[in-house]
Copies of this chain bind each other. A is one copy, B any other.
Amino acid sequence: MSNYLILTQTLKAAGMRLTPQRTAVCRFLAESDEHPTAAMIYDELKLQFDSFSLATVYNTLDALVKLGAVNALGGVGDDSVHYDADTEPHVNLACLSCNKIVDIPSEHVTHLDDEITAATGYKLLGARVLYYGLCPDCQESSNR
């Protein structure tokens, strides 16, 4: 199932209405791999509606986060929260020089959930695994 359908069906299954604004937020999230902020989503989508409000963006994002379909990534360098529609276990890897964030799959991260649940009894709702470093390109640049 496409990521877009997962998001919209998640909202519907929770008894929420599928308004044009909400489906637009879901589509934008699903089609982006840029980990957008609420403001980035708003700036883009307001062009598509006669009127459109940041509050609607937050409303939709909060619902998706609470439903576990989207991860909120806070404290990533700038001071706003980035959203990631990929909730499969993976590592976010940020380059401190060029500020790109890439997703990478990880053998060990896929096992973390089970390990943590077994060790603590917490009910896990989400995770953020964020590494910082210098990407290969920027390592080169800094050597020149």
Contact = CB atoms under 8 A, between A and B. Distances in A.
B121 A136 contact: yes
Contacts of A122: 93, 95, 131, 133-136
Contact of A116 (B72, B93, B125): B93
B104 A119 contact: yes
Interface residues of A, number: 39
Interface in A120-144: 120-136, 139
Interface in A100-123: 102, 104, 106-109, 111-112, 115-116, 119-123
A52 to B, nearest CB: 24
A132 B65 CA distance: 12
A96 interface: yes
- Taking the full assembly, how many copies of this chain does it contain? 2
Contact of A108 (B75, B95, B112, B135): B112
A6 to B, nearest CB: 19
A112 B112 CA distance: 11
Interface string A42-86: 000000000000000000000000000000111110000100000
